[in-house]
Amino acid sequence: MLYVIGIGPGGLDMMTYQAREAIEQADVIVGYKTYTHLIKALVGDKPVIKTGMCKELERCQAALELAQNGKTVALVSSGDAGIYGMAGLILELVSKQDWYVDVKVIPGMTASIAAGAVLGAPLMHDFCHISLSDLLTPWPVIEKRIQAAADADFVICFYNPRSRGREGHLRRAFELMAPYKAPTTPVGIVKEAGRRKQQHWLTTLEAMDFELVDMRTLVVVGNQSTYVDNGLMVTPRGYQV
């Protein structure tokens, strides 16, 4: 049995009961170092197979092999496993293999939901997720999606907004949105949502400080009705108030 588990954005209090139970039932835990560390208290003395970043394929293959050998395996991803996580890769590998393995995907709170609550209610109207990582997606495709989402006036949540070697991507994304979104459009920045070191800032499209952003940050750009009041970012749904 292989559980593919989204453990939520941070602490144990943001994990679903289902995820908790699956981790408790598992014989072995597989995951990226940071995430296995976040759930240490639940893992106890179970064996943990940790791998570093960019070792996704090895991690998934190891998890599948253990499950095939009769173990109950918990493969953990941060946030939701089906959003830039491991769930898709596991199911792709399973569909390529001729033996059967029981896979259950367990949902988790994705970073945008946690960040939205920190900022107020910015995701009340239609929104989308765009990852600025071009490791697996060609950069021209990402640019096209940013423009289309801005043109359609979506609230946009940027995942993977910055890393070493990709410093300019978020700045470029802001340039691409400029023709469609007003310079005063509210922007919320949440670093380490749901974790002990959580921090957040509110700014605008024109005043954005790109230096605040790293790979543990989520950036939420409002739509044309989003406003900030009392330190909270709100996207009206359309109620007459």
Tokens 């976040």 found at: 38
Q: Where are the beta strands (DSSP E) in the chain?
A: 2-6, 28-32, 48-51, 73-77, 103-106, 120-121, 127-131, 155-159, 186-191, 199-204, 217-221, 227-229, 232-234
In the complex, minimum distance from the CB of residue 200 to ligand SAH, in angstroms, rounded to a whole number: 9
Closer to ligand SAH by CB, 71 or 166: give it: 166
Closer to ligand SAH by CB, 217 or 226: give it: 217
Closer to ligand SAH by CB, 202 or 225: give it: 202
Closer to ligand SAH by CB, 4 or 150: give it: 4
Dihedral sign from CA coordinates of 46, 84, 218, 123: negative
Dihedral sign from CA coordinates of 151, 152, 153, 154: negative
32, 52 in Cβ contact below 8 A? Answer: yes
In the complex, minimum distance from the CB of residue 227 to ligand SAH, in angstroms, rounded to a whole number: 23
Binding site for ligand SAH (CB under 6 A): 9-10, 77-80, 83-85, 110-111, 115, 159-161, 190, 192-195, 215-218
Closer to ligand SAH by CB, 27 or 56: give it: 56
Provide the greatest CA pair distance for the chain: 59
Closer to ligand SAH by CB, 214 or 237: give it: 214
In the complex, minimum distance from the CB of residue 82 to ligand SAH, in angstroms, rounded to a whole number: 8
What's CA 127's distance to the chain center, in Å? Answer: 14
Q: Which residue is nearest to ligand SAH (CB)?
A: 79
SS3 content of the chain, % helix, strand, coil (to 5): 35, 25, 40
Three-state DSSP at 202 gives strand
Helix ranges, 120-221 (H): 139-151, 169-177
In the complex, minimum distance from the CB of residue 144 to ligand SAH, in angstroms, rounded to a whole number: 20
Closer to ligand SAH by CB, 40 or 237: give it: 40
In the complex, minimum distance from the CB of residue 238 to ligand SAH, in angstroms, rounded to a whole number: 28
In the complex, minimum distance from the CB of residue 85 to ligand SAH, in angstroms, rounded to a whole number: 4
In the complex, minimum distance from the CB of residue 21 to ligand SAH, in angstroms, rounded to a whole number: 20
Helix ranges, 152-197 (H): 169-177
